[in-house]
Amino acid sequence: MATRSRTQAPAGPVHVAVIMDGNGRWARERGLPRSKGHEAGAESVRAVVRACRDHGVRYLTLYAFSVENWKRPRSEVQGLMQLLRRFMDKEEHLLHEQQIRLRIMGRLEDLPKTVQKKLTRVMEKTSHYNAGELILALSYGSRTEIATAARRIAEKVQAGALDPAAIDETVFARHLYIPDVPDPDLMIRTSGEMRLSNFMLWQLSYAELYTTPVLWPDFREPQFAEALEAYRLRDRRYGGLSSPVKRERASC
């Protein structure tokens, strides 16, 4: 696992989160149905999972389906669910080969039963791997996550299991979906959009943001490597002062 210190330039991000955007536009540009854009997007998922190992990225979180995405046409939602199941059938071996643990962040219970079953089985089979983690945000919404955490905390307080005076950032964060995963260092959004779209609002507080006009189906290893390089040139201050080395480099 990559290690880092806050006094050194980061060697590379430990946790990368991605808003995979532009599948529909990619398909439209080619006169294809949107489903073809999602299929090509699944190829990019495969490529980026592989690239993480080569670049020493331990955690990869992908925004694969938001709570808002349920509002899309039924046929598109069904297509995405089928694609997800097919992807797991086809690519499960990749997780075993690379010893990657699969995790889901979001309301798994909202997904079709067959998809839930498949994902749960793969999560169980990969739960002991520790070379890396692939986290799929599914039926995920950050406001839902935060409201759910607040409700769980309130229930504990009501039951007398938690003192309100003890609630601080650390305690709150412990009630989010996957509390043991460190916050993302880098958040990539493809297709040129400049929004967070209800994605990891709490966890991205200090993340470096990187946006690219490249559409997700065209985002492969070279584009990922470019994003990592941009990250390495950033000066992460966490509210402190910039490092002299980085200030000098930035002025070159």
Nearer to ligand FPP, 4 or 125 (CB): 125
Nearer to ligand FPP, 10 or 184 (CB): 184
187: tokens are: 């958040």
d(CA 2, CA 231) in angstroms, rounded, equals: 15
The residue assigned the tokens 């039926």 is 139
Listed in sequence order, the residues at least 6 apart from 166 whose beta carbon sits closer than 8 Å to its beta carbon are none
Closest CB to ligand FPP belongs to which residue? 24
Shortest separation between residue 183's beta carbon and ligand FPP, angstroms: 21
Nearer to ligand FPP, 85 or 156 (CB): 85
Shortest separation between residue 210's beta carbon and ligand FPP, angstroms: 17
Active-site choice (69, 198, 218, 235) = 69
Shortest separation between residue 76's beta carbon and ligand FPP, angstroms: 8
d(CA 113, CA 118) in angstroms, rounded, equals: 9
* Helical residues (DSSP H) of 30-140, grouped into ranges: 34-55, 74-98, 113-126
DSSP letter assigned to residue 183: P
Shortest separation between residue 213's beta carbon and ligand FPP, angstroms: 12
Shortest separation between residue 107's beta carbon and ligand FPP, angstroms: 16
Nearer to ligand FPP, 98 or 243 (CB): 98
Which positions lie near ligand FPP, rule CB under 6 A? 20-25, 38, 41-42, 45, 62, 64, 69, 83-84, 87, 136, 216
Nearer to ligand FPP, 64 or 149 (CB): 64
Q: Are 203 and 169 in contact (CB under 8 A)?
A: no
198: left (phi over 0), alpha (psi -120 to 50) or beta: left
Q: Is 218 a catalytic residue?
A: no
The count of residues in the chain is: 252
Q: Rounded to whole angstroms, what are the CA distances from 4 to 61, 65, 194, 202, 223?
A: 20, 31, 28, 22, 23
Query: What residues act catalytically?
Result: 21, 69
